[in-house]
Amino acid sequence: MIVCKVIGNAISTIKDKRLAGQTMLLVGRLGTDPGVVLDQFVALDAVGAGEGEIVGVIEGTPAQKAVGREDLPIDAVVVAIFDSLTIKGKEIYKK
């Protein structure tokens, strides 16, 4: 699972018909500093995440399986909204 920050929405009026009704988010991969976004990509939202939230994202075939739709043309899905993150006993993020 990849720790990311939701940095926006991805709106598309023209898309594969299998994505109709799906919410897509722009997320940024995080390192140990949740204030610094590394790279950005689009992920399907499976949990109702909102902008600014720190989330868990899975990629590849497991992403398709997570939403029970192996026919979806996706490679990343938000599957968790984190309440806090701790590294070596130090809390680096708290909702």
The answer to whether residue 65 scores a pLDDT higher than 90 is no
CA angle 61, 14, 37 (to 5 degrees): 55
Its sign, for the CA torsion 27, 31, 32, 36, is negative
Whether pTM > 0.75 for this model: the answer is yes
Question: Does any domain span residue 17?
Answer: no
Domain range for residue 75?
2-10+23-94
Residue 29 lies in a domain: yes
**For the segment 5-50, what is each residue's pLDDT rounded down to a tens digit?**
999 999 999 999 999 999 999 999 998 888 889 999 999 999 999 9
Residue 69 maps to which CATH number? 2.40.50.220
**DSSP state, 18?**
G
Beta bridge partners, 87, equal 90
Q: Which residue has the tokens 């204030």?
A: 35
Residue 15 in any domain: the answer is no
- How many structural domains are present in the chain? 1
Q: What is the DSSP letter of 26?
A: E
51 belongs to a structural domain: yes
Residue 54 counted as domain residue: yes
The mean pLDDT value of the chain amounts to 93
Residue 18 within a domain: no
